[in-house]
Amino acid sequence: MPTVQSSAAVHTTTVLDRTQLAPGIVVIGLHAPHLVGVTRPGHFVMVVPPAGERAAVALGVYEAEGERASFMLAVCGPRTRELADAAVGSQIDLFGPLGNGFDFSRRYANVAIVAGGVGIASLFLAAQALIASGTRVRLYYGARTQSLLADAQKFAQAGCTVHCATDDGSFGHRGFITDLFAQTDDVPELLLACGPSPMLRAVGKLAAQMKLPTQLSLEETFACGVGACWGCVVPIERGSKQAPRFPMLSTDGNRGDPVYARICKEGPVFWAHELRW
């Protein structure tokens, strides 16, 4: 996966807009021209709540165009509540972009995206980039209920064909989004996914059954965001290009033997077939 770790920097941004998409789901738009210039699909930033009294929180870059970047968050505690309440005109410090983005080093004619909840935020830049290159993109988007299908219309406006599922059947397919995707006869050349870990595990199993190349953007709570604390690890096959390269992690042994990769440093995007979780 490509990385722009060397482009990471502290960005002091100004809040341009605040939009509540659904109960507890907010998009914050920022004036961040330098961040926009170095962000690629799949990257994230560490966001410092405005008061500076709470630890930074990792959020995927949702939009990045012109001089405006944005992030989407679900309010689930005091840090995200403070960020969600940020007033237009206030300043927010970010550190990034961080992590490895999606790998589009080859061209694809047909790509499917599976998103769960606010995991959709890490996939919009990928959808835009693919559509701009002439790729046909389908979005499979799942949430608990219709009101939590945040910003699905943005993907449709960008050129995606959108399929939705809700746990309660209030909109689209009733049940899991992975079950809806499994019904397709139009098998893509590549699958991208981001969402809760149980959904990503299900996507990985489905991809293996379909022999479908798949890139997963893993969600995790990061303490540092730069790989220093080793608090966000996932087992990955030893022979992967994303396996950490340290003397104590010898490459001796079978390629399939797992080692631990840091989601914030070697990820958050991994090839599904290389994960051993």
What is the average pLDDT across 238-251? Answer: 75
Q: What is the DSSP letter of 272?
A: G
Residue 4: per-residue pLDDT: 44
- By mean pLDDT, which of 26-30, 196-200, 255-259 is the weakest? 255-259
Count Cβ atoms within 10 A of the Cβ of residue 2 and give its class: 0-12 exposed, 13-18 middle, 19 or more buried. middle
| pLDDT at 252 > cutoff 60 | no
pTM, two decimal places: 0.93
pLDDT digits (tens, 9 = 90+) for 54-98: 889 999 999 999 999 999 999 999 999 999 999 999 999 999 999
Residue 256: per-residue pLDDT: 60
Residue 42: per-residue pLDDT: 97
What is the per-residue DSSP string for 147-199? GG-TTHHHHHHHT-EEEEEETTSSSSEES-HHHHHHT-SS--SEEEEES-HHH
Residue 255 binned pLDDT confidence (cut-offs 50, 70, 90): low
- By mean pLDDT, which of 35-39, 63-67, 160-164, 248-252 is the weakest? 248-252
| pLDDT at 250 > cutoff 80 | no
What is the average pLDDT across 190-204? Answer: 97
Amino acid type, 244: P
Residue 3: per-residue pLDDT: 47
What is the average pLDDT across 121-147? Answer: 97
What is the average pLDDT across 228-255? Answer: 79
Amino acid type, 108: Y
Residue 155 binned pLDDT confidence (cut-offs 50, 70, 90): very high
What is the average pLDDT across 249-260? Answer: 68
What percent of the chain clears pLDDT 70, i.e. is strictly above it?
94
Residue 247: per-residue pLDDT: 54
Phi, psi of 209 (to 5 degrees): -65, -35
Residue 54: per-residue pLDDT: 85
pLDDT digits (tens, 9 = 90+) for 106-116: 999 999 999 99
What is the per-residue DSSP string for 12-25? EEEEEEEEEEETTE
Cα distance between residue 89 and residue 59, in whole Å: 20
